[in-house]
A and B are shown apart, each in its own frame.
Chain A
Amino acid sequence: MTGIDVARIRSDFPILKRTVRDDKPLIYLDNAATSQKPVEVLDAERTFYETSNAAAHRGAHQLAEEATEAYELARAQVAGFVGADASNIVFTKNATESLNLAAYAFSNATALSRWGTPVDPRFVLQPGDSVVVTEMEHHANLVPWQEVCAKTGASLRWVPLTDNGRLELAGLDGIIDASTKVVSVVHQSNILGTINPVAEIMAKAHAVGAVGVVDACQSIPHLPVDVSALGADLVAWSGHKMLGPTGIGLLYGTAEILDAMPPFLTGGSMIATVEMDRSTYAAAPQKFEAGVPMVAQAVGLGAAVNYLERLGMAQVAAHEQALTAYSLMAIGKIPGVRIIGPPEAVDRGSAISFVVAGIHPHDVGQVLDNMGIAVRVGHHCAWPTCRRFGVPATTRISPYIYNDLNDIDALVEGIVEAQRFFKVAS
């Protein structure tokens, strides 16, 4: 199909050899939730624990030095992967924490400013100010902003969607205006698959002096992304969706914005000086990394980055593009099936949501599961987006590097089987 050798890739992922539900080969199509891990990622973590385990950035013994070096090497690898400098990359627990780190900069600065602590005024919110998101946000990029608004009196606005699952950009100038202090948008939707013109939206945000945030959870694992080209101040994503371990997330920030933001979690490792009644903080990224960091996970993520770089992200994207086009065609032509999201493989990723007339997504998922096909059913942490399309939930596939057209054919067979089992006319 493309330069991606699926059979070879599959042999690198031990879990893909297992069977499920009475000896059915596993067909894993739930990569938007989390990806599987190649053996070299697992080995990297294990080797770290076996040879260099110590608390990074603490202590002066040899193991501590090696652990610190391994941790910082991983930061440099991730930075290189997205075209950034290592000092612009903050390690977090996951994208959810990264987005909370961004959101808390606003509520913390607002609270600090009330008591006279000098803060950057860009982060201070008050009634009359607005926070802008879109109607296709994952809850991770919606609920934290709702909280910010509740704490500061700012109001939440959102960019609505077209029936095809694209942003309704025509009215954008009326939404991002002089009152707007922050604009936070998803790059690629986890439920609709839509790829948004984030650079354009970030430019609008900057034109009114707002801080621009991008949720790149579903784009960085799947496309070549140069974070500086997104034009955002802050970019959040997770390691576990790009072949890395769970428990490690990323936040890219421009040097200027990271410097201006107050810290989120506080405690050890993030300080410059501590006295009994006050502290000063380290420079970014350390300012945002309180506590003993997740070194093994960072090392695993570094190995994941190597793996993806060897494949080449342009190849990965081309492979997924071909899968997406085929899937849209194959799923779209099953009678009674409606795709929720852009129907054409243009500015669109491989996550494809659909509903089957007369069968609840939970039941579709169950029939597929029974055939060994793992998909996600539910609202995909984008409940308002489901409501926008008048569906309580969807079934979603999200193929990745180890999936091929056979997997999609099996899926189509599974959908037809569900229609047969539940006796709905297809």
Chain B
Amino acid sequence: MSLESLYQDIILDHYKNPRGRGLMESPLGTAFHVNPTCGDEINMQVAASEDGGLLIGYEGTGCSISQASASVLYELVQGRPVADAESIRLAFVELMHSKGHADPDEEVLGDAIAFVGVAKYPARIKCALLPWMALQDAEIKGGLMSEPDSDQE
């Protein structure tokens, strides 16, 4: 396994140049998640635009994988209907549990397909999932989504 397969250029680019980073004034829901094994943190906020699109604000500290994942998340779900955002989220979660064997759909996952290599490193999957778990939590807290009845993790 090469370092390049884990840290694809797209990931490093999102890490160095995060998209949409920053917090908003009055979110509907906020979730602060930490990875207790390494201390990575993400503060995820959601709100809804007038036409029902999801609005995202976030801040965080942590490794390249967790922070790039938050940036990619922003790029993928900002402005999208909540239901679309949820299918993207589920596709990403599935990708992370693929052990690196998935053939992800770029139509759905955009830059997130670059995370396929991360799925081969069990210790890093949690890093990649951190912002996405926080997103779900923020949506629930903001009343944009109901509590899931089954555990998708």
Contacts and interface: CB of A to CB of B under 8 A. Distances in A.
Given A362-B127, A366-B124, A421-B7, A379 B39 contact: yes
A379 B1 contact: no
A316 interface: no
Interface string A352-378: 000000001111001100100000011
Nearest to A364: B63
Contact of A367 (B1, B3, B39): B3
A379 B40 CA distance: 10
Interface residues of B, number: 19
Nearest to A362: B63
Interface string A265-283: 0000000000000000000
B12 A422 contact: yes
B62 interface: yes
A375 to B, nearest CB: 13
A22 interface: yes
A367 B7 CA distance: 10
A378 B36 CA distance: 9
B6 interface: yes
B41 A392 contact: yes
A393 B38 contact: yes
Contact of A360 (B1, B3, B37, B62): B62
B64 interface: yes
A21 interface: yes
Contacts of A366: 3, 6-7, 121, 124
A392 B40 contact: yes
B137 to A, nearest CB: 20
B17 interface: no
B39 A421 contact: no
A113 B12 CA distance: 60
B65 interface: yes
> Max chain A CB contacts within 10 Å: which of B39, B41, B63?
B39
A422 B39 contact: no
Given A370-B3, A393-B39, 13 more contacts: A360-B62, A360-B63, A361-B38, A362-B62, A363-B64, A363-B65, A378-B37, A378-B38, A379-B39, A392-B62, A393-B40, A421-B7, A422-B12
